[in-house]
Amino acid sequence: MDSSFRVRRKSGRLEAQAICDSFRHMQNVSVQIIRFVDSSFPGWVECELIDADGKRHVIRDKVPIFMTGTLDAKSLYPAAGNMQKDGQEQTQHATDFRWSHVCCYRKRIGIIFTLIIFLNILQSGCGSPKSPQIPIIEFTKIPPAAQGGRERVDTVSGRVKGARPGQKVVVYARSGPWWVQPWPDKPFISIRADSTWSTETHLGFEYAAMLVDPNYRPPPTMDVAPTQGGSVLAVTVVKGEGAPQLAPVKSLSFSGYDWKVRTIAGDRGGLNNLYDGDNAWTDANGALHLRINKKNGKWACAELELTRSLGYGTYVVVVRDITHLDPAVVLSMNTFDEWAGDQHYRELDLEFGRWGDAKRTNNAQYGLQPFFVPGNVAAFVLPKGTFTHSLRWESGRASFKTVRGSSTQPGGPVVSEHVFASGIPSAGRETFQILLYVVASENSPVQKENEVVLEKFEYLP
């Protein structure tokens, strides 16, 4: 053994003693619990510890070592943890460095700290391998920031560090919801031998790349950005390149308000519907007509939204008869904020149709999202004729009412009314939308052109 190694060994022994001396005066050591790794009782987790020199250490051990609560694969990560001091036992360690009287915490934690010290010395003195690398996923090519749709695609690329065999990359693009890319039935992207990855993607305003275990099952859409935890080992979210590009729209004036008419395809009702700007227009009396017709062998729908947000208040729409609509055609009038996935897009709905079921008795409903929560939908039967529908939106309360005729004056015959007082979204950047579209239906597909007429839209603060 040469003299330089003896100096390093001596230096390492002094470093170990110094670290132990600092541990002796600490009440606990903070760690970051980064993921759940094994469900064997009482559960095993992987933690990250940064020492005083800025070096990163990865520790795998039982949950009670790091916290008093419980954790599982569904818990949110990263989570705060700590290793609490439990006495100042003196333990004799017999190693090549002949450390003695090394301070420790409870027996298991003392072993962990000793291994950390030993690794520090080996790294600085003997050139041994570094601690296990925490996985990282990066972007190397980011597509433009643009409103989504099936019309435009681009390539997104990146690389990963610290990936293990069998792990994959999953990419989401945000345009309203987060949509898995490039398709729900092809969500997994292989990692090449040089640690790079690449895939085709539809455009969005933001993009998320995830490193996942083989058992991960990505949902087709997410309301909020994906986060690390469980089978998701690393996540990176970036904004699209350049100024946001919005899809072209057609301008329309109706009831004294300016509206934008959709011209690109969109997913709704289990279908990717075409939207034609010519399928929304006003007549000589100012009434709004919405139509579904055939275009290049496929049904084209109608959608328009206000150019500005109105917020809390009363929204009133007078609609002529809708009972003639095909079972697979739905008229929806709703608030919607594509940037508020955490509040279910601030969506409050007035909807009319039979949702593809010709035998369905109810042909109208009030609702708020998510629709699958019990009590979030109030369905009713709307008879033939013209009706005035209203939504009164207040903080913590949404009141719906349908009265017969074309008037909002008190005393009109009430067909249905309902008040929601739970799960009401707060006002934000939502706009009011009106859509006539097709839903998926094997038994009752659309058979003919469909049209509805809205006589008036009114807003009262």
DSSP string, 381-415: ---SS-EEEEEEEETTEEEEEEEESS--STTPPEE
In sequence order, what are the beta bridge partners of 162? none
In sequence order, what are the beta bridge partners of 32? 48, 80
| pLDDT surpasses 50 at 303 | yes
Residue 183 DSSP label: B
Cβ neighbours of residue 366 under 8 Å, at least 6 residues apart? 349, 350, 351, 377, 378, 391, 400, 416, 418, 420
Cβ neighbours of residue 374 under 8 Å, at least 6 residues apart? none
Distances (CA, A) of 231 to 36, 75, 132, 211: 8, 11, 18, 9
What value does the mean pLDDT take over residues 155-168?
96
Question: How open is the CA angle 69-23-102, to the nearest 5 degrees?
Answer: 115
Confidence of residue 121 (pLDDT cuts 50, 70, 90): very low
Higher pLDDT, 48 or 91: 48
Cβ neighbours of residue 358 under 8 Å, at least 6 residues apart? 327, 443, 444
Q: How many CB atoms within 10 Å of residue 42?
A: 11
pLDDT for the residue 60: 77
| pLDDT surpasses 60 at 111 | no
Q: Which amino acid is at 192?
A: R
Structure tokens at 418: 């309902």
Structure tokens at 328: 């697979």
pLDDT for the residue 311: 97
The span from the CA of 12 to the CA of 232, in Å, is: 38
Whether 211 and 135 have beta carbons less than 8 Å apart is answered as: yes
Tens of pLDDT, residues 4-63: 333 334 444 444 444 444 444 444 577 778 888 777 778 888 887 766 555 667 777 888
Whether 34 and 77 have beta carbons less than 8 Å apart is answered as: yes
What value does the mean pLDDT take over residues 351-374?
96
Cβ neighbours of residue 183 under 8 Å, at least 6 residues apart? none
| pLDDT surpasses 60 at 425 | yes
Question: How open is the CA angle 194-196-198, to the nearest 5 degrees?
Answer: 145
Distances (CA, A) of 437 to 110, 269, 449: 65, 8, 11
Distances (CA, A) of 325 to 355, 370, 433, 447: 11, 25, 19, 10
Tens of pLDDT, residues 400-419: 999 999 976 667 899 999 99
Instruction: Please provide the average confidence, as pLDDT, over all residues in the chain.
Output: 84
Pick the closest to residue 305 from 343, 274, 261 (CA basis). Answer: 261
The span from the CA of 8 to the CA of 18, in Å, is: 15
The span from the CA of 287 to the CA of 326, in Å, is: 22
pLDDT for the residue 47: 80
Higher pLDDT, 37 or 333: 333
Pick the closest to residue 265 from 435, 150, 436, 145 (CA basis). Answer: 150
Q: Which domains occur in the chain, in start order?
A: 3-125 (no CATH), 136-245 (2.60.40), 249-460 (2.60.120.200)
Cβ neighbours of residue 256 under 8 Å, at least 6 residues apart? none
Residue 243 DSSP label: E
DSSP string, 28-43: EEEEEEEEEEE-STT-
What value does the mean pLDDT take over residues 89-110?
38
What value does the mean pLDDT take over residues 335-355?
96
Which of the residue ranges 53-62, 194-203, 224-233, 297-306 would you say has the lowest mean pLDDT? Answer: 53-62
123-161 burial: b if 16+ Cβ within 10 Å, else e:
eebeeeeebeebbebbbeebbebbbbbeebebebbbbbe
| pLDDT surpasses 50 at 270 | yes
Higher pLDDT, 394 or 34: 394
Question: How open is the CA angle 88-93-98, to the nearest 5 degrees?
Answer: 125
Cβ neighbours of residue 144 under 8 Å, at least 6 residues apart? 154, 203, 240, 241, 242, 245
Whether 20 and 56 have beta carbons less than 8 Å apart is answered as: no
Confidence of residue 195 (pLDDT cuts 50, 70, 90): very high
